[in-house]
Chain A
Amino acid sequence: MLIELSQVSKVYNQGRANEVRALSGIDLTVEQGSMVCLKGPSGSGKSTLLAIIGCIFPPTSGRAVIAERQLARLPDRFLTLHRRETIGFIFQRFNILPELTVLENIALPLLPLGVTPKERKLRAHELLERFGISHRAQFPAGQISGGELQRVAIARALINNQPIILADEPTAHLDTNLSREFMAIMQQLKAAGKTIVIASHDPLVFEHPAIDRTVTILDGRIHVP
């Protein structure tokens, strides 16, 4: 199993007045090469679950093993090191840095790895080519279209050849055509062996034929109908 969660819970601001229980008793396993959709209403805990799978923080309690590492035992620094080898993130709104060029944005994850500028360019160009946006390489990322932006975000999630792709509400700001295109690309990535987890309440996503399984989250728990 690439992703293995058992009895995972997450409490924000534990012990303080603004304590929030975001997840409790989550059991979830995801096999390598499969595509899973996390679905549920706003505030149900989808982003929180993705953050745990994405090694951004360990669970408050329970066991989370991501790519053979148990998170609870890792201090923050090792979470980061593990994250950058393992996880490619695609954010809602795609979270690019608008003043950097498209190329620089895509290469951002490689900077702290000590990859040479030449190698960084080479890898970024490969991906730009693959997604048909090479002509935008030197554009400031704030000035390209929504469809191009989405591909930049996907390219950035792949640059370090991470095995797991996590996407948080990727179609929330896309029209129907671009949403379809996004899922088509995800399908290709799945075919290429990536493991993909998407948080979304967009039917275009969870009803997509490439989705192997849809998990519904309600009030921080997995809902079994």
Chain B
Amino acid sequence: MAIDLFQFREFRIRDYHALLRRGEISVEELLEAFLQRIGSVDGQIRAFLSLNEEGARIRAQKLDRDIPPDEFPPLWGIPVGVKDNICTEGLPTTCGSRILYNFIAPYDATVVEKLKRAGAIIVGKTNMDEFAMGSSTENSAFGPTRNPFDLRRVPGGSSGGSAAALASLETPLALGSDTGGSVRQPASFCGVVGLRPTYGRVSRYGLVSFASSLDQVGPMARNVEDCITLFEVISGSDGKDSTCAPYPPFSRQDIPKEEEIRKMKVGIPREYFSSGVDEAIVRRIEEVLDLLRREGLECVEVSLPHTDCALEAYYIVAPAEASSNLARYDGVLYGLREEGSTLQEMYCRTRTAGFGKEVKRRIILGTYSLSSGYYDDYYLKGMKVRTLVRKDFEEALQKCHFLVTPVSPCFPFFLGERTQSPYEMYLADVFTIPSAMAGIPGISINCGYENGLPIGLQILGGPFREGWVFGLALFLEKMLSLSSPFPLLPERS
């Protein structure tokens, strides 16, 4: 049975499950529909680095054979795209890097184990900036992903592959990872939903480390409800990750009802509406805030005075951790090896050939700031700024329940537009980095379009307040009643 995916554009997991339960389609047919969609559009978008067609089909057939009697496990038969820095047993896990071009993960990340247990089908691994370092997916060693809304533009990054795959309905669900904005910024650029959970809410076991104290796996979806479902599946404590909080998985019962949301208070951090932000974005966010006021929510202005230094501190702390986390790619045990006549030479050749420019830049930056004599002035100071940034949010969130801000100061830019200027590229994350430094949750949802390009709105909450964040996100999604993205791509010639 040929399925026209266009009918799925507004589907949620519950709708797929309804079809499956009524026997209108099989899991295998559903999977085939998505594989076909990937086959027809991914040549242009390049959201996937590798596909798991064989494994996915076998799994779909197995799921069809043992359809559960009544209640479906939450992700039964649902295809999921997994960012290529999350380990999937038996599948390539390259992190978008040449140094891991041949690396097949020998084990499943905890989040992948949880996906499988919930009945999901891993459909493939999505493209990303090398080791999650970047904001455009242009730093992938295997070529950039393109924004489905405009193929000349970037999808954002580093989880650009996951965001683009969702926007073009190559997959209904995807996992990303957010270190400084890598889930939220591409979600914003591609008009989809992406959550950065509270640090420690989701296990990092099996997420290849970039900056351990900042990395979080984040659920990404085409609508808030699916994002919640995915979050319920992947969240919760894990004995394999010491930094994972000892709490049970998130439950949607923690999401306030609409009437409660109407009584809550929204904080507007003035630093996030400054001159550096595209006027159209500010205008749209302010329209949304007006709408919230009209719906009865109180909006108060708050201040996050250390916003400016947060970016700079991030570019000390994250590269420092990265310089150490990436030391293991030395050609000895796995991945790329370039032989040399001495050990030193093998290390140098391997790492020279294996890492891209941005990764090298950050390794050097991080090595420098950890060096003796510089440690106090850079790394330690960076950590102190981090404490100040966290306090900013603590204070602001005492005056309100959540903060509403733009996700990105700019619209999706053209490929190559910022690659020559790393600092300009770094500025793309200016509104997502501070909350990552503070370890608090944040979601990016679409709040409108300008010239056919999506605008993302960010909701930030206190630690472990994903419930409130989702509550407002659901409320806004309903109020705005925007249709889920389904960019019409030009026919391939």
| Chain A bound to chain B | no
